[in-house]
Amino acid sequence: MKTKLGGIYSALMVAYDEDGNINENGTREIIRHNIHKMEVDGLYVGGSTGENFMISTEEKKRILYIAMDEGRGQVKLMAQVGSVNLKEAVELGKYATDLGYDALSAVTPFYYKFDFEEIKNYYNTIIEATGNYMVIYFIPSLTGVNLSLDQFGELFENEKIIGVKFSHGDFFLLERLRKAYPDHLIYAGLDEMMLSAAVLHVDGGIGSTYNVNGIRAKQIYTLAKGGKIKEARELQHTTNDLIEGILANGLYQTIKEIMKTQGVDAGYCRQPTKRLSEEGIIAAKELAEKYL
């Protein structure tokens, strides 16, 4: 399973039109761009980068369908189905599994202060209903949910939970996870720390900036795995210069604007995310010219 599902995945962006509706043609362009230009190993569909927590269940299904229809047989496909609404998570998990997704992922249930038994039941319920593999989406900075090494171990007792998308800066916990669970998948979830994670022998990465910086991310990962740390470090420096500029200008809006400079109809972000100003559009183009 590690061999099959490892590698670099773009956290897939979704093109929306000016009214916030899914732009299907633009979304298909984004998928093709990731596969053919960024040369990613997989697509992580339905995550934060796709603005997933601002859209309806039916819209989430539509995106899952588009990604499978466009990407089937070309890259690995992982569906993020997590929701604070467990019934929705199960519904989406069944839908993605029926479509043929290689694995599911689910963000830890958030907002309400669920205890660990409730979190464990959430994952086990999705797995029992779908029969699919599960990758935990661990992003405590946004969910407020922390998991300990022992708690990860308890979750991993379910043989269908095959790994974790580790979007957290606690690299002590990352190292402990890697040592304790060598047979589970660990994906680096922080694009700016790919080199550091690769040195600890993660199995790949899942990131939003890979929609425009996927080639360089794969190079960092490959070089680090091959022990070529100096070369990887230089590429990480350049990557982080790019990321710093993107974050300062507006994360998702800027990535979409950069994709437009690369010939992709990446559309707009869904409200309440604001539009880029003219200055912001110019800044995005300058980032693309300088770093890509």
Residue stretches of the annotated binding site for aceneuramate: 48-49, 167, 189, 191-192, 208
Q: Is residue 263 part of a domain?
A: no
Residue 195 covered by a domain: yes
Binding residues: 48-49, 167, 189, 191-192, 208
User: Residue 2 pLDDT more than 90?
Assistant: no
What CATH number is given to the structural domain containing 53? 3.20.20.70
Q: Specify if 206 maps to a domain.
A: yes
Q: Which of 8, 48, 25 is nearest to 255 (CA)?
A: 48
Does residue 165 carry a catalytic annotation?
Answer: yes
260 is catalytic: no
With respect to residue 281, please indicate whether it lies within any of the assigned structural domains: no
The per-residue pLDDT for 182 is 97
The pLDDT tens digits of the residues spanning 55-97 come to: 999 999 999 999 999 999 999 999 999 999 999 999 999 999 9
Confidence of residue 121 (pLDDT cuts 50, 70, 90): very high
Contact 237, 230 (CB under 8 A): no
For the chain, what is the mean pLDDT? Answer: 97
* Predicted pLDDT at 269: 98
For the stretch 28-64, pLDDT in tens is 999 999 999 999 999 999 999 999 999 999 999 999 9
Mean of pLDDT values over 224-234: 97
Q: What is the pLDDT of residue 3?
A: 62
Residue from 165, 210, 252, 256 carrying the catalytic annotation:
165
Return contacts of 259-263, CB within 8 angstroms, 24+ apart.
259/13, 259/30, 259/33, 259/211, 259/212, 261/285, 261/288, 261/289, 262/33, 262/37, 262/212, 262/288, 262/292
* Catalytic member of 9, 122, 137, 221: 137
For residue 82, being part of any structural domain is answered with yes
DSSP string, 63-91: HHHHHHHHHTTTSEEEEE---SSHHHHHH
**Domain span at residue 219?**
2-226
Question: What mean pLDDT comes out for the span 258-283?
Answer: 97
